[in-house]
Structure 1
Amino acid sequence: MSVPPPPEPIMGARLLFSLDPAVSHLNHGSFGAVPIVAQRAQQRLRDEMEADPLRFFTQGLVDRITHTRRHLAGFLGADPDGTALTTNATTGVAVVLQSLGLRPGDEVLTTDHGYGAVEFSVRRECRRTGATHRVLPVPLAATDEEVVQIVRSGLRPGRTRLLVVDQLTSGTARLFPVAAIVGVAREHGVSVLVDAAHAPGMLPATVQSIGADFWVGNLHKWGYAPRGTAVLVVAPPWRTRIEPLVVSWEQDAGFPGQLEWQATMDYTAWLSAPAGLYTLRSLGVDRVRAHNAALAAYGQRVVGDALGVPPTGLPDPGGPTVAMRVIPLPAGLATTIDAARALRARIAERLAVQVAVNAFDGRGWLRLCGQVYNSPDEYERLAVRLPTLLAQR
């Protein structure tokens, strides 16, 4: 079966970024890439801050943060009064976990697709409180109905206090039916935290339509914001129970102000985040989503074909705007976290290509992303050179 043609490029989009042209950046999902307009907006804010630090931090900064929060919440379809800016999704998860008041006998349930740092945070909080952490295995090829049934069967009413589930998994690039999962959990009286690290900017679903108790998402990936920009959205019943990881001068303001004010933190990433969204909107949000998803799918087929993987062996993420795809690596390669990291570094060093490599279910997986600054020939060059590198074990 022939590989379908790549999407038409978005002309001029590559010039909006300052990426090294000598490197193929096929891993937007890890750390993103900040458009030049957002970089300059942040630098202007830093210049303002350094010109008069006392004025910057004491005259109107809280109001500027509030204005930014409302702008970002509007883009995400979230309640601004239930949205707090934070530095990344992992920090938001930690805030939720330490605000739950877990006790011995309680349980936190995750899936085996969960992000590593989130899993670390869950384990630590369970060790600290005496709660239990349990992991649900979910086959990569499971249908949405099967995923919902696995979750339904895994819930333990009266014991499971929190279910943590990814909206789009990082390591396996799988879209989960989070709205349906939230509905099932609610039937059983279980709270849900949706880890939506990759959702803002990529996925069209609004936060309110999902209905989770907690939702965390990064703007510094697919939303083009400077790094260190994320949001934690909290349902009304929980807002008075949320506590920041560090108490500072806005503690008496309650949520979300108490969570956002962290003394002398550099707030310029947050304040310049709307400039990133401006870039996305200028290119056309729907246009960018469709282009990126189609380009990632093209890259998956081209590289998969070079590695001898038939189309039926390439996982479908399950959504028309998912701009990340995974490809199974030859058996025995990158089957552990350390081996996956080593292979990623070798690909970067030898081929000048940035990709993600993850281990899942005893196998290594190559993850490719599609972004407006990428071109089809970058995936084609990787397809030509990668087999030889993988053969040099």
Structure 2
Amino acid sequence: MQKNSKRDFGSFHASNVQELLELPETDYQPPAFPVSIPKFNDYQLETGRPCRQKHFLLEEDCTFINHGAFGGVLREAMDSTHEWQRYVERQPLRFYDRELLPHLVYVTRRLAKFVCCDPTDLVLVVNVTTAINAVVRGLDLKKGDVIYILSVTYGAVKKLLQFVCEATGAMLKEVQLNFPISSKDQVVSLVGETLDPGVKLAVFDHIPSNAPVILPLKEIIEICKNRGVPVLVDGAHALGTLPLDLKSLDPDYYVSNAHKWFCCPKGSAFLYVRKELQSQTRPLIISHGFGSGFNSEFIWAGLHDYSPFLAMHVNMNFWEDIGREKIQQYMYKLCRDTCDLLTSLWNTKLAAPKEMFGCMALVELPPQLYSSDTTVTYSTGEAIQNQLYHLYNIEVPVKCIQGTLYVRISCHIYNELAEYERLGKNVLEMCETKMNLVQNVN
């Protein structure tokens, strides 16, 4: 294409992206689908094993209670990606040059409605890591600037922040959140006591990965706003597990993965940016959309497989047709029941009050499982995790939190209580046989 031709990807098409996103709902006409997009209007939700067999691709013989790690795709959504991929290859130029961007706009509009924000404030990205990099790289950091985080911040994000601080002379202030947590007031008080006015950016996980308590973000964001501190929320685990309302929550930046609890294909996530901050938030890949508006700059990152974004229609249909509350209520109840089951069976405690957990929870392992003479470390937990997998085909992470070992259980609609009973009994069996787990780290 000629650079300034009417059909130039970076001018005509990119400007149309903004126009289509800004149209009111009454004036917007979505494109017709060239592939089948299943709906679930008449479907009665089956949970547990029947759901797993019908809607997921997980191996039958694995006790998979680690959905929080990398998610698990909805079978129908995976089928949709394949159908989109085949359609693209029938006439690639027609798809990429004439059809792709209107379809990406449609997905963006639907997803924005799902999380309650203006579609011009939301862009599709491949994962949360990419989104957070885009936000942080857009900050005008100088020597002496401070970035504030809690100790539960995701490890990859900590490394990013350490990198940019070393490069710019800014400082990273990490505040220790002590476990076990007594209540959400403990978290709110900690932030209130340690967050100084003038901080360049505060980063909070909505649901921290290693310690999956639901942080009281509404109260935390209020503290930040009162002190003039911009807030970036890492909501990697939020989409699908929480009833997201970004308009009400009102963060400055919010990111979430769609491939985790929302069960989209890998390579689908979103970034929300408050309008006043969009001019400084640029994509990591500068391409044809540059100069055509916030959404246009992010929507095309060169030629790659866009089918995970397009398949999100299937997941949104699933959650909307069945009812997101019905799905979340099942997951929450299963998590609470599992917490009761395991703490009773092992005579241990949770890392936080039950009401602070959603679809994941930290349940303390029996101390007799590992040697009391050995310092408990990450490697100790990894050894136990590996034993559970190799001996019993149970996939569940073991986390070391301030010297205590916990299993981080995940509860999705395809899980059922019998799986956690199996975990509980097998852990007790490991205790009885006094396996020298610490010696088998490697």
On the 8 A contact 1:327/1:365 being kept in 2, the answer is yes
Q: Which residue of 1 aligns with 2:195?
A: 155
**Which shifted more, 326-335 or 135-144?**
326-335
The normalised TM-score by structure 2 is 0.82
Deviation for aligned residue 1:197: 0.9
On the 8 A contact 1:288/1:372 being kept in 2, the answer is yes
Deviation for aligned residue 1:296: 1.5
Deviation for aligned residue 1:314: 5.4
Larger radius of gyration: 2
Q: Cα RMSD over matched residues? A: 2.0
* Alignment deviations for residues 26-85 of structure 1 (CA, whole Å, 9 cap, x no partner): 111111111111111111011112333333222221221111111111111122100011
Is 2:57 the counterpart of 1:21?
no
Q: Which residue of 2 aligns with 1:359?
A: 400
Deviation for aligned residue 1:187: 0.9
Q: Equivalent residue of 2:147, what SS? A: strand
2:419 paired residue among 373, 378, 382: 378
**Which shifted more, 19-28 or 144-153?**
144-153
Percent identity, aligned pairs only, is: 27
Deviation for aligned residue 1:302: 2.1
* Structure 1 unaligned spans of 5+: 1-7
Letter paired with 2:173 = R
Q: 1:150 to 1:314 in 2, by over 3 A?
A: closer
On the 8 A contact 1:88/1:231 being kept in 2, the answer is yes
Q: Which residue of 1 aligns with 2:184?
A: 144
Letter paired with 1:316 = P
Q: Equivalent residue of 1:60, what SS? A: helix
Is 2:105 the counterpart of 1:69?
no
- d(CA) in 2 for partners of 1:69, 1:272: 12
Deviation for aligned residue 1:357: 2.0
Is 2:288 the counterpart of 1:249?
yes
Q: Which residue of 1 aligns with 2:352?
A: 315
Q: Which residue of 1 aligns with 2:361?
A: 325
On the 8 A contact 1:224/1:280 being kept in 2, the answer is no
Q: 1:94 to 1:343 in 2, by over 3 A?
A: farther
Q: Equivalent residue of 1:256, what SS? A: helix
1:199 paired residue among 207, 222, 238: 238
**Which shifted more, 27-36 or 38-47?**
27-36
Deviation for aligned residue 1:107: 0.8
- d(CA) in 1 for partners of 2:131, 2:403: 29
The normalised TM-score by structure 1 is 0.91
- d(CA) in 1 for partners of 2:400, 2:96: 44
Is 2:228 the counterpart of 1:189?
yes
On the 8 A contact 1:304/1:314 being kept in 2, the answer is no
Letter paired with 2:341 = V
Q: Which residue of 2 aligns with 1:48?
A: 87
Q: Which residue of 1 aligns with 2:23?
A: none
Q: Equivalent residue of 1:253, what SS? A: coil
